[in-house]
Structure 1
């Protein structure tokens, strides 16, 4: 669970990013930014809109999309495009992690694994490269589930 000070700091960073981009931070956008800052999962735009509406933001879905795009351009959030799913979003200030996507439930789980990281670096080095950036996505089904 994110503590209030961290969420307030993250919301402030998001607000500063919008201002740098020349976007006016309205009451509705400020409420949306608080929703984004409080997100510990990987919500899509529709889910962020639903949460903002539940918080009384009165923000349109189009504004949610425009705001997300601007925040991505400013480098403060990352757009995650998983196979066959709407784009999802997460804060860009997190340490490196990979994702496992449950094909049956749509759940996105974060994980880190030192062995995988070492193996990727070894493979790149064997081919004469250094890894600059990477994303690993594992699409999974729980063992014994239909379709597995």
Structure 2
């Protein structure tokens, strides 16, 4: 199950991987702590920082997101629209990640935790000898709000 992280937790995770918590990285991470459960692109983060009068440039945001993703502090996700989105990686490596419902009309992304694929993973291991360590599921469709509008 996902857990909540503080800036100190994230700082420790960064330092454990031999990296410093620079003011820019802290500012970028704070955006994610202030917007829990949201899937933010580099442009989203940059826009939020600009609203707060931050002087951090878009290139620094991109570099910070890539490093934090490479270090598995942030989870990088692709939803098929050519735009990478990120969220704090709160998953236990022994558990599955949550899955996503993606509205193809408005772009809204909704998470769901139900993991209905355990039986399938068992079948894969039994029949093919392949041990699944993890999986990600993305469902594309139309959200309730967009269905009401049509």
State the alpha-carbon separation in 2 of the partners of residues 24 and 110 from structure 1.
29
RCO higher in 1 or 2 (8 Å CA, sep ≥ 6)? 2
**In structure 1, the residue corresponding to 2:79 is in which secondary structure?**
coil
Residue 84 of structure 1 corresponds to which residue in structure 2?
A: 81
Unaligned 5+ runs, structure 1: 1-5
Work out whether 1:66 is the aligned partner of 2:66: no
Q: TM-score, normalised by structure 2?
A: 0.76
Work out whether 1:14 is the aligned partner of 2:10: yes
Residue 3 of structure 1 corresponds to which residue in structure 2?
A: none
State the alpha-carbon separation in 1 of the partners of residues 74 and 120 from structure 2.
25
Unaligned 5+ runs, structure 2: none
Work out whether 1:137 is the aligned partner of 2:138: yes
Give deviations 1:74-93, integer Å, cap 9, x for gaps. Answer: 11111101112410001111
State the alpha-carbon separation in 1 of the partners of residues 133 and 80 from structure 2.
23
Deviation (angstroms), 1:18: 4.9
State the alpha-carbon separation in 2 of the partners of residues 65 and 21 from structure 1.
20
Q: TM-score, normalised by structure 1?
A: 0.77
The aligned runs of 1:6-45 (5 Å cut-off) are 6=4, 9=6, 11-18=7-14, 20-23=17-20, 25-26=22-23, 28-40=24-36, 41-45=38-42
State the alpha-carbon separation in 2 of the partners of residues 100 and 77 from structure 1.
20
**In structure 1, the residue corresponding to 2:117 is in which secondary structure?**
helix
**In structure 2, the residue corresponding to 1:109 is in which secondary structure?**
strand
Aligned 8 A contact 2:124 2:131 in 1: yes
Which one is further off, 46-55 or 29-38? 29-38
State the alpha-carbon separation in 2 of the partners of residues 57 and 16 from structure 1.
24
